[in-house]
Structure 1
Amino acid sequence: MAKRKVHRRARKILGEEPVALVWCEIHKPIPVPPKEVHRAAGKGRLKPGHHWLLYVGATVFFFVVVPMILIDKLGKKIDRMLGARQEPHRQTPGTRNNAGPQRSTRDRGSAGGRAAHPADGVFDGDWHLTAGQLLLRWYGHSPNPKRLVMLAHDRICVAASPRRRLSPTRADDFRSVAEFPLDAARTEGEAGQPRGFATFRIRFADGSWLQVGRLGEPEDADHFLRTVSA
């Protein structure tokens, strides 16, 4: 459960004790918007920032692991060539050729499926409405994917921490990045969802909606979902 200092910070922002709060994330990658829409919104980032250890790991992978894999494959290829000279009637290459078109067909089918669902369950799909505009600026407020959604008696507040890494139970440097009165937005969710898979939606008055998941601390998540489902 979020520590007292988190609630204290939330109370300072809202001017009252929050009815419910929970840390959450966009649980899927943000779809790629049309270029003109992205440009009009300031061409902000559409992906979260990564910790420096990730870049170190990627460097080690490309400069150490990849060369070792290539050397290993080269060695196996040389072994196969030598073996083919001794056994000229071996049919292994034909087997490899049969696998290629099958993978291509699956890839084309997957690509077609993604094209048919551009919003991918993240939002309603209209970039010009409230949810789409909020998504376009989602990571401009903070490179960290986590957002704190706070419910007050008269509004919904979305807050973010400027840090790349944070502890949902201890972070107390978050600031409000968007507020919506209850006649402009409402939250929708179901209580009792499996932990780790629970999601809820913020539905806006213009008909657009945004779905988030990866909810934070179990106690906060359960209380939040019970509140919005009541």
Structure 2
Amino acid sequence: MANRKVLRRARKVLGEEPVALVWCEIHRPIPTPPKDVHRAAGKGRLTSRHHWLWYVGAVVFFFVFVPMFLIDRLGRKPDRSPAGRGGGRTGQSPAPPDAGPSPLGRTPEGERGKGPGAGVFDGDWSLTAGQLLLRWYSQSPNPKRLVLLGRDRVCVAASPRRQLSPTRADDFRTVAEFGLDQARIEGEAGQPRGYATFRLRFADGSWLEVGRLAEPEDADHFLRAVSG
């Protein structure tokens, strides 16, 4: 659960005691916007920035482990048996035919989530959700955002840190603020832990879905507050 410093900062940001709060993330990759839309929004980042240790690990993997693996594979002699040259094929079953299109109109796994909004938002970059999504990483390289619910407003805040602990990050600042006539939160209480999501739905009809809710107590309290 968020500690006293986080709650104190939340009260300062909102100017009142928060009804509920929760750290969350965009739980799917942000779709690629049209180039002109992205350019008009300042061509901000659409992915988070990794910690420097991540880049060190990637370099070590590609320049140490990959060469060692290739040398090991090349040093092994191929195991070829006589049966592999045409004999011993009597027990083999023929290759399965091309499955063709999915039955009953089902979407293949590799094609899911490729619509205009890919399950992240409604797909219209010109509306509130799309514009907020274009600015998601502009004020913080970290994907986590704190959603604060007040008596008459919804506030989205972010910490400038690259790495943060949701229970102790008390340096967040407002990214966007909406009155309850401009935005509302849609969520269901009792969702399975680790899979819980909720939506920010705006007055212009656009919506943005987030997940990866941090801190079970905060998440459960938040979902109960918005579903009541």
Judge conservation of contact 2:116–2:122 (CA < 8 Å) in 1.
no
Q: Write the distance in 1 (CA, Å) between the matches of 2:187 and 2:161.
A: 28
Determine the structure 2 residue equivalent to 1:52. 52
- Distance change (3 Å), C-alpha of 1:176 and 1:68: same
Q: List aligned pairs for 1:151-190, cutoff 5 A.
A: 151-190=149-188
Structure 1, gaps ≥5 residues long: none
Determine the structure 1 residue equivalent to 2:117. 119
- Distance change (3 Å), C-alpha of 1:181 and 1:114: closer
Deviations, residues 63-88 of structure 1 (Å, cap 9, x unaligned): 00110121123234xx22xx65x849
Structure 1 counterpart SS, 2:175: strand
Deviations, residues 15-53 of structure 1 (Å, cap 9, x unaligned): 100010000000111111111111111000000111111
How far has the Cα of 1:90 moved from its partner?
2.5
Determine the structure 2 residue equivalent to 1:2. 2
How far has the Cα of 1:229 moved from its partner?
0.1
- Distance change (3 Å), C-alpha of 1:67 and 1:183: same
Deviations, residues 86-127 of structure 1 (Å, cap 9, x unaligned): 8496259x99xx89x98xx9xxx6654454x24221111111
- Distance change (3 Å), C-alpha of 1:200 and 1:112: closer
Q: Write the distance in 2 (CA, Å) between the matches of 1:25 and 1:47.
A: 12
Judge conservation of contact 2:185–2:198 (CA < 8 Å) in 1.
yes
Q: Write the distance in 2 (CA, Å) between the matches of 1:151 and 1:91.
A: 70
Determine the structure 1 residue equivalent to 2:28. 28
Q: 2:85 aligns with which of 82, 85, 90?
A: 90
Structure 2 counterpart SS, 1:150: strand
Q: Write the distance in 2 (CA, Å) between the matches of 1:16 and 1:180.
A: 15
Alignment RMSD, CA only? 2.5
Structure 2 counterpart SS, 1:180: strand
- Distance change (3 Å), C-alpha of 1:35 and 1:91: farther
Pair 1:224 & 2:219 matched: no
Structure 2, gaps ≥5 residues long: 102-107
- Normalising to structure 2: TM-score of the pair? 0.87
Which structure shows the higher helix fraction? 1
Judge conservation of contact 2:5–2:168 (CA < 8 Å) in 1.
yes
Q: 2:143 aligns with which of 142, 145, 158?
A: 145
Determine the structure 1 residue equivalent to 2:105. none
Q: Write the distance in 1 (CA, Å) between the matches of 2:145 and 2:169.
A: 11
Q: Write the distance in 2 (CA, Å) between the matches of 1:113 and 1:200.
A: 20
Determine the structure 2 residue equivalent to 1:18. 18
Name the amino acid aligned to 2:42: G
Structure 1 counterpart SS, 2:54: helix
Name the amino acid aligned to 1:55: Y
Determine the structure 1 residue equivalent to 2:70. 70
Structure 2 counterpart SS, 1:188: strand
Name the amino acid aligned to 1:12: K
Q: Write the distance in 2 (CA, Å) between the matches of 1:155 and 1:135.
A: 19
Determine the structure 1 residue equivalent to 2:198. 200
Q: Write the distance in 1 (CA, Å) between the matches of 2:167 and 2:86.
A: 60
- Distance change (3 Å), C-alpha of 1:87 and 1:165: same
Determine the structure 1 residue equivalent to 2:131. 133
